[in-house]
């Protein structure tokens, strides 16, 4: 049961929406012009095989292109199942493509007694099977905004990073009012970013809002309209403001999180990801570069502690 549902959004754009919540349960999109363009593959081969079947029903030929919105495995580890496709991504995605090996996550998934900071990840990885995943990295690298012409259908690749990650690309089909955002957008669940910049993420979402897309495909969560983009931008602004104040007052990250007014976001899944988002703002307040190494175990520990508090 892959949980994938295909939705037609416009004349040439489909979404494959993942109905199962949780880390790694990601969405994809298909543009049925110019030989077919897939926006993101999925985390493992079983999921991506189901995705390819959903797409084959409406586009029987194997798609000619893939765009990877960023390098996280839940958006590109199924690339190998579209053999011969041109794989397009931003340089920041290409540079980090091999940063996490499938075998590394598989080892965490199979741990019998994971260390405390990896326990949540260990549980979250349980539904996946990384057997047979071989990284298929980008074959075409872009350095900024790029326009594709798919037999007369204009597709804009918008470089929006470093926001969620260094290589964030949004895919916009302006004549059909559809934007596919990868993990620039989490809908119905809290966003999280392990690198990138809070300010740039907010700016990227403002740029997407100005395009006024009718349909927006988030990286995670149900397809929405532009209001989904606005709500997440406001969340990031709220977290940024609260965390800046708390950092100036010398408060520990968890104390700051306790003060987060969850009103508009109370129904979101995985709200405890706020701890990672606050940690990032704290690093920014300290003047750390967006890609500077940091203590990920401490971030995971605080996220787990907040989960215990809010569950
Ligand atoms: Zn993702």
Looking up residue 64, the CATH number of its domain turns out to be: 3.60.15.10
Is 244 part of any domain?
Answer: no
CA of 243 to the centre of ligand 1 (A): 24
Range of the domain at 215: 4-227
Q: Would you state the structure tokens that stand for residue 228, as one six-digit string?
A: 């989904």
Is 200 part of any domain?
Answer: yes
The CB-side HSE value for 230 (13 A sphere, CA atoms) comes to 8
CA of 193 to the centre of ligand 1 (A): 10
Which residues have C-beta within 8 Å of that of residue 119, sequence separation ≥ 6? 304
* pLDDT by 10s per residue, the chain, length 311: 689 999 999 999 999 999 998 999 999 999 999 999 999 999 999 999 999 999 999 999 999 999 999 999 999 999 999 999 999 999 999 999 999 999 999 999 999 999 988 998 999 999 999 999 999 999 999 999 999 999 999 999 999 999 999 999 999 999 999 999 999 999 999 999 888 899 999 999 999 999 999 999 999 999 999 999 999 999 999 999 999 999 999 999 999 998 887 778 888 999 999 999 999 999 999 999 999 999 999 999 999 999 999 88
- What is d(CA 5, CA 227) in angstroms, rounded to the nearest whole number? 22
- What is d(CA 275, CA 253) in angstroms, rounded to the nearest whole number? 7
CA of 152 to the centre of ligand 1 (A): 30
CA of 192 to the centre of ligand 1 (A): 9
Is 203 part of any domain?
Answer: yes
Is 75 part of any domain?
Answer: yes
CA of 74 to the centre of ligand 1 (A): 5
Is 47 part of any domain?
Answer: yes
- What is d(CA 268, CA 151) in angstroms, rounded to the nearest whole number? 39
CA of 71 to the centre of ligand 1 (A): 9
Is 270 part of any domain?
Answer: no
CA of 25 to the centre of ligand 1 (A): 7
The CB-side HSE value for 85 (13 A sphere, CA atoms) comes to 30
Quote the number of domains for the chain. Answer: 1
Is 100 part of any domain?
Answer: yes
Which of 146, 69, 133, 55 has the alpha carbon at shortest distance from 101? 133
pLDDT for 218: 98
Is 305 part of any domain?
Answer: no
């Amino acid at each position: 049961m892959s949980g994938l549902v295909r939705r037609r959004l416009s004349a040439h754009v489909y979404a494959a929406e993942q109905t199962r919540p949780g880390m790694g349960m990601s969405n994809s999109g298909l543009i049925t012009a110019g030989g077919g363009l897939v926006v993101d593959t999925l985390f493992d081969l079983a999921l991506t095989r189901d995705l390819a079947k959903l797409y084959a029903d409406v586009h029987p030929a194997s798609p000619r292109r893939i765009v990877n919105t960023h390098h996280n495995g839940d958006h590109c580890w199924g690339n190998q199942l579209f053999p011969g496709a041109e794989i397009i991504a931003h340089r920041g995605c290409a540079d980090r493509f091999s940063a996490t090996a499938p075998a590394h996550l598989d080892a965490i998934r199979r741990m019998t007694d994971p260390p405390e900071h990896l326990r949540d990840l260990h549980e979250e990885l349980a539904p996946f099977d990384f057997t047979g995943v071989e990284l298929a990295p980008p074959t075409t690298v872009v350095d900024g905004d790029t326009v594709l012409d798919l037999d007369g259908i204009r597709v804009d690749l918008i470089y929006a990073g470093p926001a969620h990650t260094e290589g964030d690309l949004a895919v916009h089909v302006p004549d059909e009012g559809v934007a596919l955002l990868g993990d620039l957008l989490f809908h119905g669940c809290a966003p999280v970013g392990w690198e990138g910049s809070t300010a740039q993420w907010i700016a990227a979402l403002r740029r997407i809002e100005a395009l006024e897309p009718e349909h927006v495909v988030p990286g995670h969560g149900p397809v929405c309209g532009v209001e989904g983009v606005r709500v997440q931008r406001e969340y990031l602004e709220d977290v940024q403001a609260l965390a800046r104040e708390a950092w100036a007052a010398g408060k520990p990250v968890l104390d700051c999180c306790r003060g987060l007014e969850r009103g508009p976001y109370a129904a979101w899944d995985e709200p405890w990801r706020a701890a990672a988002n606050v940690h990032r703002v704290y690093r920014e307040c300290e003047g750390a570069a967006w890609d500077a190494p940091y203590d990920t175990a401490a971030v995971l520990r605080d996220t787990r502690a907040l989960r215990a508090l809010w569950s």
